[in-house]
Amino acid sequence: MEKNSKIYVAGHRGLVGNATVNALKRHGYANIIGRTHSELDLMDQKQVKEFFETEKPEYVVLAAARAGGIRESIAHPTEFMLENLKIQNNVIWQAYQSGVKKLLFLGSSCIYPRECPQPMKEEYLLTGPLEPTNEGYAIAKIAGLKLCEYMHDQFDANFISCMPCNIYGEGDYFDTERGQVIGSLMVRMHTAKIENTPEVAIWGTGNARREFLFTDDLSEAIVFFLEHYNEKQFLNVGTGEDISIKDLAQLMKETVSYQGNLTFDTSKPDGMPQKLMDVSKLKALGWEPKVTLKEGLQKSYRDYLQTLEKNL
């Protein structure tokens, strides 16, 4: 990949897409293009076809997706599946049709079975039933990575995939209803702190374990994939370490300086019992994350406070 190569980052305003644009710039890539939803609806096949025919990007990072936390995933499985399938199919196929040299598809750790052995190795894909609370999203992501694999074999297309664990960081979607666990929990604890609310209730038992990767680390991994990886086999991207939701909540409490109590609503689902990625294959290639969870939460909270100030 040349420094002046034309790179299209789909979803460039999102948490991962924005960090990817910044990482590419840090590495000297200046010819980066993006389109907002109002400029290009990725679910519209005709619009996507016209975009690729006109712009002719050489490289594509497919970071655009309909995503959200467990509450949103349970409420809208149809949209999570249908919208992601439309986005993926349109971008991946039109990228091939227009002669894109390389495409990187971003999936999710939710592709693995609910009762998956831990840590989750790439070869455990499709070895058991999925977690019901995010099945629609998971099926879409599996379809995306499989499409890239098929095209890699059938057309010799350099279309590759990576499966990140839970992502958080600066520019996160800070929303209690639609946000994922860290963004949602941060908003709720900060609000409780400001309003002197005596307790914050958290979904589930708190025993479920999750792995979290700071968005800047993922963006560096994306550049690494673009520069160094060309294989059909998708790879996990994560830290190789996880934390219980209960311990995460306590760490968030310290980050926000919330003095109230934490309670757990056991009538609500935990989701998968554990989602810890085996990242040995990626580490063997020479890539490792740098930001600790504690440091990443502090950076995220500063970003959230700055966002609140801007909106005053």
Give the residue numbers annotated as catalytic, written as ranges. 137
Is 17 within 8 Å of 61 (Cβ atoms)? yes
Count of CB atoms within 10 A of residue 173's CB? 17
Q: What is the DSSP code (8-state) at residue 115?
A: T
Is 87 within 8 Å of 120 (Cβ atoms)? no
- CB-based burial of residue 146 (10 Å sphere; 0-12 exposed, 13-18 middle, 19+ buried)? middle
Q: State the amino acid at position 207 in one-letter form.
A: N
Question: Rounded CA gap, 18 and 14, in Å?
Answer: 6
Total H helices, total E strands in the chain: 10, 13
Q: 111: which 2 tokens?
A: 């592709």
Give the sign of the dihedral formed by CA 298, CA 288, CA 222, CA 135.
negative
Question: Rounded CA gap, 90 and 80, in Å?
Answer: 16
